[in-house]
Amino acid sequence: MDYDSKAARRAGLFYLAAAVFYIFGMMYVEGRVAGDDPELLRKIAETGGLYRLGFLSALLGHVCLLATAAALYELFSPVDAAWARLLVVFVVAGVSVAFLNRAHQLVVERLAVSAYPGLPGTGAEWLAPLFIGLYRDGERLACMFWGLWLLPAGVLAFKSGFAPKALGVVLIAACAFYVLRFFEYFLLDPPPAALRAPLAVANAADSAAKVAAELGFIGWLLAAGFRRRLPADRRESASAARP
């Protein structure tokens, strides 16, 4: 089956942009303020505008992911429209949860910089842990959809005939690990002693599968989108010329 290289190119570029925004906002900025609750608040206050910049970067990543889903629908709907629609539904659901959850993060940032002048002196001490917990739980809820959209993406890649079947398998495996981590967080936190070793192995495999799936998908979309392709009549002539 042939494919729309322009849709693949748009999907790859938007997906790459989303990854860059997420890496800056979620990994770099949030990594700089990591720690227990009091340390987190102190570090947020010390970063000045950097934490707010990371907040905005994550939001832009969500917007780019929506654009990615629209381009992927255009690319894969000729393969199977039902699975392509399901991909869009899961991405929209995940972005909706994650986008609204950022309101909890914004409250944490404002508590850290004492932006609520009418709040009693001890108010931030008991409000901040509440909103930090809400934000972390909201991120875990969104992770369910970050995994689920990879299932239709993997099925579509496997069925398409123009994407590598191995990419489809890796995307489906990454979906399974996302779902596993979701249930681990909400049902096994903290995990029983007997499950700690198997879960540690699963978590290592989880990281490898996610990196392979995300980078592999972005790489293939960009390669497919920017690949120079012959017009249909020249392809037919070249095919007929082969012995």
Residue 79 amino acid letter: V
Q: Please state, in angstroms and rounded to a whole number, the distance separating the CA atoms of residues 32 and 57.
A: 15
Element (H, E) at 199: helix 193-226
d(CA 91, CA 112): 31
Average pLDDT, the chain: 84
Which tens digit of pLDDT belongs to each residue from 191-238?
677 666 766 776 777 777 788 888 999 999 999 988 865 454 444 443
pTM, 2 dp:
0.84
The per-residue pLDDT for 236 is 44
Q: Which residues, 6+ apart, have CB-to-CB distance to 80 below 8 Å?
A: 155, 156, 159
d(CA 174, CA 4) in angstroms, rounded, equals 25
Between vectors from CA 212 to CA 206 and to CA 218, what angle results, nearest 5°? Answer: 135
87 or 32: which carries more pLDDT confidence? 87
Percent of the chain surpassing pLDDT 70 = 84
Distance CA 22, CA 129 (A): 24
